[in-house]
A = this chain, B = another copy of it.
Amino acid sequence: MSEIEAKVKITPRSEDFSEWYQDVIAAAELADYAPVKGCMVIRPNGYAIWENIQKILDQEFKKTEVENAYFPLFIPHEFLKRESEHVEGFSPELAVVTHAGGKKLDESLVVRPTSETIIYDSFSKWIHSWRDLPLKINQWCNVVRWEMRTRLFLRTSEFLWQEGHTAHASENEAEKEAKLRLEMYKNFVEGYLAIPVISGQKTENEKFAGALRTYTFETMTQDKKALQSGTSHNLGQNFSKAFNVKFLDEKGENQFVWQTSWGVSTRLIGALIMAHGDDKGIIIPTKIAPVQVAIVPIWKSDEEKKEMIGAAEKIVLKLQDVKFKIDKRDQRPAWKFFDWERKGVPLRVEIGPKDLEKNQAVCVRRDTGEKIIVPQSDLADKLPEILEEIQKNLFDRALKFQQENTHEIGSWEEFKNTIENKKGFLNALWCGDSSCELKIKEQTKATIRCIPFEQEEVLGQCVHCGKHAKYKVIFAIAY
């Protein structure tokens, strides 16, 4: 990391949230825009977060009988066309390979925007009888969706994700699976990324192209918008019919399988930044942080340097299950503090000559800025405690923010005023009509983010058209 990069300034959130977001990413060296329009370079600091996300989710998948595999990057164009909603939904975003090996291809190839079609072609060869079900496959890969307006991590032409794909013998099993995966995501995002989520079903307008039903979880950003952070789809038999994925059931009859697909992407890193970051930069929750504790020895002379680094090395010997880094760089302490802050490391431990004299260390929490003086003999116990508190505090703080910015809306006037002046999540009654939903979007830019799973008895009128309401839903301006 060079001096030049160290000079990155972070625009305050209150001034320009969008600039702030860009600045935070640059300051923490998480990602760059690539020379190819809309694509990103994920830098080591950003990629290390993604690796932790992968590691934890991959373990969860494997615990629940999901196997990893890898399917081709290229999909014959014809495959996409077999499911009419699917091709319609993805056509505007496709990148197309027309030439390869020095020749024009007979049939052009699509760079996968998602892999339902190419994977279910394999499923049709792998699945024969009920004994082969359920089949649960996941792949970690890159996908391409050509986007006009891009933003690092949130919307880029290429991004990294995992896509799970399952096949089941019954509709009921597929439905359970789709909901199980959403629950798994929710637990991960709340438990590890410390971001509270709202979850539920997407409306017809907002569902995945080709799905029967899409389940989603959304997070709130500090500019009070909604961010769709992951989805799980009950695909019904839409794709199994298009790709002829059949099995012989126990009675010896041929049936089409019932399917699901579900995914989360590098967008989660964007969600994390937008949920927790402050004007000093990103704040990474303990459980997902590549470095949890930055230990900064402070010295003036070469002799002190040796002594302080020695003291730091003594401390880490006693640490268990803590990911730490001792900062031995020849830079001023203030510069180092600043550097670890903007990199979002949850806890900083400073040890200078005076601390050593007093057998103590100074711990500084990234989330609150609080300084905690800890006797060196207590550090091994105390650091994990503080780290846990940070994890908890980040979640609580984000939950409070979400709750404070969630509004019960009774009238159309109130709806318009709230969206215009307050934003956030708007709980409102809705008639269930797609065209009414679209009119609301046209007038306010707000969309229905989800129909929460638990619906109390819905009594009243649609907030917009005044017709009999079917659901209480959550509206918001979405990223």
B-contacting residues of A (Cβ < 8 Å)? 1-5, 32, 34-36, 39-44, 47-48, 50-51, 67-76, 79, 91-102, 108-109, 111, 118, 121-122, 125-129, 131-132, 137, 141-142, 144, 146-148, 157-158, 160
Q: Is the CB–CB distance between A122 and B32 below 8 Å?
A: yes
Q: Point out the residues of chain B lying under 8 angstroms from A132, CB to CB.
A: 1-2
Number of copies: 2
Q: Is the CB–CB distance between B96 and A69 below 8 Å?
A: no
User: In the assembled complex, how far is the CB of residue A8 from the closest CB belonging to chain B, in whole angstroms?
Assistant: 13
| Interface pairs (30), CB distance under 8 Å | A2-B127, A2-B132, A5-B128, A32-B125, A34-B71, A34-B118, A35-B79, A35-B118, A36-B72, A36-B76, A39-B74, A41-B70, A42-B69, A42-B70, A44-B67, A44-B69, A47-B69, A47-B70, A50-B70, A74-B95, A74-B158, A92-B102, A94-B99, A94-B101, A94-B102, A96-B99, A98-B98, A99-B108, A100-B146, A111-B111
The 4 A-B pairs of least Cβ separation, nearest first, read: A101-B146, A44-B67, A39-B72, A2-B128
User: In the assembled complex, how far is the CB of residue A57 from the closest CB belonging to chain B, in whole angstroms?
Assistant: 14
User: In the assembled complex, how far is the CB of residue A239 from the closest CB belonging to chain B, in whole angstroms?
Assistant: 15
Q: Known contacts A4-B128, A35-B118: does B102 contact A71 (CB below 8 Å)?
A: no
Q: Point out the residues of chain B lying under 8 angstroms from A51, CB to CB.
A: 68
A69 and B132 alpha carbons, distance in the complex (Å) = 37
Smallest CB gap from A40: residue in B? B72
Q: Is the CB–CB distance between A101 and B4 below 8 Å?
A: no
Q: Known contacts A70-B41, A95-B100: does B144 contact A142 (CB below 8 Å)?
A: no
Q: Point out the residues of chain B lying under 8 angstroms from A125, CB to CB.
A: 32
User: In the assembled complex, how far is the CB of residue A88 from the closest CB belonging to chain B, in whole angstroms?
Assistant: 13
